[in-house]
């Protein structure tokens, strides 16, 4: 009886250890893995270039946040959005920049220009523009901030335009032409950028 009890306890301890190991490994990779079970407003699905397994999506290496060599005559703190590359660069100075993967405007909604950051919001609410509601009549008049909101965890407002640099509840769309003009990032990345960028910073969209 004693041996049987010890065997049961040993088995239970093994299972707990495996569970803790799995949770720790998952947390360590959390920067690049995202839960696909959260609902969204759109029917977009994971695209090529992303690994999908067990309801998770991992960013392709070229879209992961990283410091890169970057030549620019812009001062540190400037945001440069290269829509062709699907990269956003935050100029650091000394020939370096922090590079993020982004999702950009689909055909017919592209734009370019130079503006300044005019506002910043955490977990912003979303009021779909009238022209967007005409294209998608099922959209609500207003959606409060939260995990189901397509603006994601943070929004950085670009000048007096309708466009923002914002998070997303569809992380698999990074690297794609998917938006109506806004620049989207995974929530981890837009939270990082949000903390680094000041209101009044220059934003250049190429």
**For residues 197 and 176, what is the distance between their CA atoms, to the nearest angstrom?**
24
DSSP state of 197: P
Backbone angles phi and psi of 24, in degrees to 5: -65, -45
On the question of pLDDT at 51 being above 50, the answer is no
Q: How would DSSP label each residue in 98-125? A: EEEE-BEE-TT----EEEEEEEEEES--
Give 158-199 pLDDT, tens digit per residue: 999 989 999 998 999 999 999 989 999 999 999 999 999 999
| Range among 14-18, 23-27, 86-90, 135-139 rated most confident | 86-90
- What's the helix, strand, coil split of the chain in %, to 5? 25, 30, 45
Give the pair of three-digit tokens for residue 146: 């939260």
Regarding predicted confidence, which is higher, 34 or 130?
130
**Out of 14, 42, 87, 166, which one is annotated catalytic?**
166
14 belongs to the catalytic site: no
Q: Terminal CA-to-CA distance of the chain, rounded, Å?
A: 74
**For residues 21 and 16, what is the distance between their CA atoms, to the nearest angstrom?**
9
Sequence-distant (≥ 6) Cβ neighbours of residue 192 within 8 angstroms: 65, 100
């Amino acid at each position: 009886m004693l041996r049987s009890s010890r065997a049961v306890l040993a088995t239970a301890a093994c299972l707990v250890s495996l569970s803790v190991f799995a949770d720790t490994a998952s947390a360590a990779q959390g920067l690049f893995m995202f839960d696909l079970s959260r609902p969204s407003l759109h029917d977009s699905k994971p695209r090529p270039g992303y690994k999908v397994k067990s309801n998770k999506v991992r960013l392709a290496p070229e879209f992961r946040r990283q410091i890169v060599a970057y030549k620019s005559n812009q001062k540190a703190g400037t945001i440069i959005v290269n829509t062709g590359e699907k990269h956003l660069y935050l100029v650091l100075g000394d020939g370096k920049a922090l590079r993020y993967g982004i999702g950009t405007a689909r055909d017919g909604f592209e734009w370019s220009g130079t503006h300044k950051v005019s506002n910043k919001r955490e977990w912003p609410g979303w009021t779909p523009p009238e022209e967007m509601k005409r294209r998608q009549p099922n959209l609500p008049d207003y959606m409060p901030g939260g995990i189901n909101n397509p603006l994601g965890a943070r929004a950085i407002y670009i000048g007096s335009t309708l466009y923002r640099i914002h998070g997303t509840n569809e992380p698999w769309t990074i690297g794609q032409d998917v938006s109506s003009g806004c620049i989207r990032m995974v929530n981890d990345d837009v939270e990082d950028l949000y903390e680094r960028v000041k209101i009044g910073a220059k934003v250049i969209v190429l």
